[in-house]
Structure 1
Amino acid sequence: MSSPAPAPKSPELSDKSKKYDRQIRLWGEHGQTLLEAATICLVNVTAVGCETAKGLVLPGIGGFTVTDGSSVKEEDLGNKYVDNLLTVKAAVLERNCYSFFLDASYLGKSKALACMQLLQELNPDVNGDYVDESVDYILSNRPNFFESFDLVIASNLNERSLLQLANRLWESNVPLVYCRSLGMLGSIRLQLKEHCIVEAHPDNRQFDLRLEHPFDALREHLESTEVTSKVPWLLVLYKYLKLWQKEQGDGKQAPSTYKEKTTLRELIRAAMQTDEENYEEAIKAVNTAFGAGMVPKALKAIFEDDACEQLHKKSDAFWIMTKALKHFVVEENKGYLPLPGVLPDMTANTDAYITLQQIYRQQALQDADQVYHKCQEYLKQMSLPADSIDERTVRLFCRESAGLAVLRGTRIADEYEKSCRLQPLVEDNELQDPLTAYNFALRAYERFLSECGSIPGECAVEQDIGRLKSIASKMLTDLGLQASISDDVLHEICRYGGAELHAVSAFIGGCAAQEVIKIITTQYKPIDNTFIYNAISTESVTLKL
């Protein structure tokens, strides 16, 4: 029979667990706890900004604050007509995506207040607040305002405001998620100084079984248990691995080549008397059961990082645990990572499976306990509180140690300076990809807002195309790129007249909310660092700028 599912912690789920059950299945209760403890700031009430905030309020972000100094106008409730959007037919764009929230009763009222009230209605458990001031005013008069937030989301800013905000957040080490939505185009840019990922959730996770190097308790169990059709396939595989090692006679611990694996599979198959499921499972597992537990290349680089080698009082808990993990691997565990203690499902007698499961879990707890005590030793050396790192956190860290990752990003301002990272985007004086061209065109659009004080294409499309082309050409020259943006791309930008399409803003907002959750929960790998989407062709690309 298959191994039983873990028993629930309590007979009945709490109201909160029922409410968030589906998402807890993705990032766990510990991830949900981090989400509910986080506070974010939404800068600028726009279509894509509202959609991003909605995607965080619904799953239960701890709190949010909306900042916008403008009031609701007539145009925020209606639609704007844009000619020849798809060159074949005209389309109607909503001037602002949040108009699906608003009605005439909000006219003249604070846009920040309206957005806050209507977002909070989606989830009364979330704390909402608003500041009826523009981002420029806040940066000029209260520059420390944004430091109290775990993350800031901004959208559709002009270049000057964007760079001032991004630079301030970079100095304060506050993550920024910047979104754009313009007609059929959208983009997301993450600005992260350093982001440490504990739970990467790889698509093809390899179970760490240690069959070729069993720890004492596992070896004793494997060698003292009779192999029958009722035991887990792991015992079957171990028995015939020992036979394979004896036949090889060269001291090799596990098969690595196709030929060697085939030989081991044939040994197991030859011993089968009937259609024994555990033997079949052992044969299938030959390809994946060996080789885990060693330190992967990415983790070696993290071990050698200066942040790991040189701890100080302001070191993040991630780096303290990483140094303790390194000590355990190098000094105490013969180069092997802590045992995760997780087994795959196996066809077996329930008692046999549970016994095996307990052996792995007990060893995993022992390994994590050694890492935890080393963490406490480092905390004591730095005169930091002992409860800065708890046992539960260390156990999770050890279980996920093979997939630890560190992402170090770049400032948004770096994209506006000459950079060798931008050169590969150009080939034969042309931007290589249409989506790349749209990214630079959107940046030219933001510079247009700063320099001209108006939206390109809002009143005079053809006239503004020339002005936008001049701005784009100078921008590319300043970046050291001998390239140009085609008139068709610039015409597409101007033709939108600053309008946002609800469907595009909803898509970009949903994607941005997903990235925010990744950052807050330190789970899954976020984009690194720019995502661009064209709804006309339904194409997207991720660039590191």
Structure 2
Amino acid sequence: MSYKINYSLIRLLFVFKLKGIMAADRYDRQVRLWGDEGQICVEHASICMLGSSALATEILKNLVLTGVQSVHIVDSALVTNPDVGNNFFVEEEEIGEPRAKVAVRWLKELNPSVEGDYDIRSVEEVVRTDLESLQYFTLVIGSNLHEATAVTISDFLFDRNVPFLHARIFGFVGYIRICVKEHTILNSRAENVAPDVRLDNPFEELNEMVDALDLDSMSYEEHSHTPYLLLYLKALKLWRKELQDETIFPDDYKKRKHFEKVLMSLRRPQPDTDSLEEENFIEGRTALARSMRITKVPSNVRELLDHPKAEEPDCTPFWVMIAALRRFVITKGVMPLTGILPDMISDSERYVALATIYRKRATEDAEKVFEHALEIIREKQLPDDLIKLADCEFFCRNASMIGVQHGTTITQELNSQLENIFADVRDAELTPNPNTGVVQIPPAVWYILLRAVDR
């Protein structure tokens, strides 16, 4: 007995399920991945898809579900019998209708908050007569385009710094080629970033808080809830006094091990058991290597500060803020403080006091960077509202994680030499997959075949 799969029913059930999830908390999971600022970028993104094949609709499905602002499909193709079998977003009753129109209709069902539009001209016609219209999208995606068409689009958008993503599939083989001149990163969301606590050069308010700290007169409860940052600075004074060196800092393994002994000597025994296992000290010992660090400008940031655009920025907010950061670093010798305090065992009063000290200094640093940014805006005669204080605060909070990526065009790839690729093909060993027994084709072979498709 054979069964006919009811794709319409499956799709509707999928849509109803998604609507229920979105009504509760639409984008909760992805916000955890890229943060509120990332979601704001997504929700302001306008996507142009050149083509409406199954590949195109699958790509757009994933973008629509994230909540992009709008999608626009360009394609002159009509729905055919083969489409019904391989494209989830068309059905038999729609044969003969414009495929772009049908795809937009069903994609909007997945997320009604996303705007959808279509153009039933061919991609080739748009490229030939209306190429300029593509520069106004946030991202342009080409689906199974002929190489010559993709080259024209890539060259045009590259000069205007509009990202172009070219995707092609041939059965189970495919590739994605990203073409963008310059991609700026305001927050790489790196994991396990060392805390920015500046213990090698603590500010005055922090020193005052440490000087007022009398560990000997505290109750055990107060002692065991003293934040480890304060314990570090208390131990640092004792360690330097012992070594008779007021500038030494435990910034390597040997020094840290010696400093650790001084730190742990400050522990107090638990009244009932005489145990020395105070959790704040255990936590402090664990965080020692990440916290006791010399404050310096990270190499990735230094590279940007040395970039010509950091001295003579263009009109983009990113490079204006990089130039402002450069002036701040030249003046202060350090990066602006992030103001982000790591979690630690503490009573509420002292943790809030610590957090306030760091937050106040971070705000002052961000305001100084903002002043430099306004100076640059006036010098370059740029719009007064190009950058706001909130932009600088976010920028300074994530300044250690900024970056720039530079790409190439498809033309540059086509004009590149293939000697290394051919060498990989010649030297390749065709070995069977240990699990399936099927011969594994080296990536270089697939690359040559994909390059040869349109020739």
Q: TM-score range by the shorter chain?
A: 0.7 to 0.9
Task: Give, in angstroms, the shift of residue 375 of structure 1.
Answer: 0.8
The answer to whether the 8 A contact 1:425-1:431 is kept is no
One-letter amino acid of the counterpart of residue 319, structure 1: W
The answer as to 2:450 corresponding to 1:442 is yes
Aligned to 1:229: 224
In structure 2, relative to structure 1, the CA distance for the partners of 1:261 and 1:292 (3 Å cut) is closer
CA pair 382-431 structure 1, distance change in 2 beyond 3 A: farther
Mapping 1:134-213, distance limit 5 Å: 134-213=122-201
| Residue 351 of structure 1 pairs with residue 353 of structure 2 | no
Instruction: Quote the offset at 1:256 in angstroms.
Output: 2.6
Distance 2:421 2:284 in 1: 49
Pairwise CA distance, 1:251: 5.1
User: What aligned pairs does 1:49-198 form with structure 2 within 5 A after superposition?
Assistant: 49-78=56-85, 96=86, 99-198=87-186
Q: What amino acid sits opposite 2:57 in the alignment?
A: C
Q: Distance in 2 between matches of 1:376 and 1:237?
A: 38
Alignment partner, residue 337 of structure 1: 335
Q: Matched residues, percent identical?
A: 33
Name the counterpart of 1:541: none
Match of 1:297 among 296, 299, 321: 299
Is the alpha carbon distance of 1:16 and 1:399 closer, same or farther for their aligned partners in structure 2, counting shifts above 3 Å? farther
Q: Which residue does 1:25 correspond to in 2?
A: 32
**Aligned position for 1:268:** 263
Among 385, 399, 409, the residue aligned to 1:411: 409
Match of 1:287 among 274, 289, 294: 289
| 1:260 Cα deviation after fit | 1.4
Task: Tell whether 2:252 aligns with 1:243.
Answer: no
CA 431–393 in structure 1, closer or farther in 2 if over 3 Å, else same = farther
Q: Counterpart of 1:474?
A: none
Aligned ranges 1:384-423 → 2 under 5 Å: 384-419=382-417, 423=419
Pairing 1:492-531 to 2, within 5 Å after superposition = none
1:173 and 1:270 map into 2 onto residues whose CA distance is 58
Task: Tell me by how many angstroms 1:53 deviates.
Answer: 1.0
Q: Partners in 1 of 2:235 and 2:289 — Cα distance?
A: 14
Q: Secondary structure at the match of 1:58?
A: helix
Q: Measured at CA, do residues 100 and 428 of structure 1 come closer, stay the same or move farther in structure 2, by a change above 3 Å?
A: closer
User: Within 1, Cα distance between the matches of 2:248 and 2:450?
Assistant: 57
- Report the secondary structure of 1:167's partner residue: helix
Structure 2 unaligned runs (5+)? 1-21, 216-222, 269-275, 429-440
Matched residue, 1:482? none
Q: How many residues align?
A: 408
Q: Deviations over 1:114-139 (max 9, x none)?
A: 11111111111111000111211101
Tell me, in whole angstroms, the C-alpha distance in 1 between the residues paired with 2:186 and 2:248: 30
Deviation by residue 1:269-312 (Cα, 9 ceiling, x = unmatched):
23323221111111111111022641112211111111111134
Give the Å deviation of 1:203: 2.2
User: 2:321 matched to 1:321?
Assistant: yes
Per-residue deviation, 1:348: 1.1
CA distance in 2, matches of 1:144, 1:31: 28
Deviation string, structure 1 residues 370-396 (Cα, Å, up to 9, x no partner): 101111121122222221101111111
Distance 1:38 1:405 in 2: 21
Q: Normalising by the residue count of structure 1, what TM-score does the alignment of the two structures yield?
A: 0.71
SS in 1 for 2:447: helix
* Counterpart in the other structure of 2:44: 37
Decide whether aligned partners of structure 1 residues 253 and 437 sit closer, same or farther in structure 2, where only a CA change above 3 A counts. Answer: farther
Residues of 2 paired with 1:16 and 1:22: CA distance? 14
Any idea what SS the aligned residue of 1:387 has? coil
Q: Secondary structure at the match of 2:110?
A: coil
Contact 1:195 1:408 in 2 (8 A): yes
Who is 2:220 aligned against? none
1:326 maps to amino acid: R
- Conservation of the 8 A alpha-carbon contact between 1:67 and 1:135: yes
Return the offset for 1:254. Answer: 2.2
TM-superposed deviation, 1:253? 3.9
Match of 1:12 in 2: none
What's the TM-score, normalizing by structure 2? 0.85
SS in 1 for 2:208: helix
Would the aligned equivalents of 1:169 and 1:176 in 2 still touch at CA under 8 Å?
A: yes
Q: Residue 179 and residue 431 in structure 1: after superposition, are their counterparts in 2 closer, same or farther (change >3 A)?
A: farther
Cα gap change, 1:354 to 1:425, in 2 (>3 Å): farther
1:370 to 349, 368, 371: 368
Closer/same/farther in 2, CA of residues 207 and 431 from structure 1, 3 Å limit? farther
1:242 & 1:291 partners in 2: Cα distance? Answer: 16
What do residues 93-113 of structure 1 show as CA deviations (whole Å, max 9, x unaligned)? Answer: xxx4xx222211110111111
**1:259 aligns to 2:259 (yes or no):** no
- Residues 425 and 445 of structure 2 are in contact (CA less than 8 Å); yes or no, is this contact kept in structure 1? no
Q: Distance in 2 between matches of 1:317 and 1:250?
A: 45
Q: How well do the aligned residues superpose, as a CA RMSD in angstroms?
A: 2.0
> In the aligned structure 1, how far is the partner of 2:297 from the partner of 2:66?
35
User: Measured at CA, do residues 64 and 202 of structure 1 come closer, stay the same or move farther in structure 2, by a change above 3 Å?
Assistant: same
1:501 is matched with none
CA separation of 1:150 and 1:292: change in aligned 2, threshold 3 A: farther
Please tell me whether the aligned partners of residues 47 and 181 of structure 1 are also in contact (alpha carbons under 8 angstroms). Answer: no
Counterparts of 2:283 and 2:448, CA distance in 1:
53
Cα shift readout 1:293-337 (whole Å, capped 9, x = no counterpart): 41112211111111111134xx21101001111111111x2x110
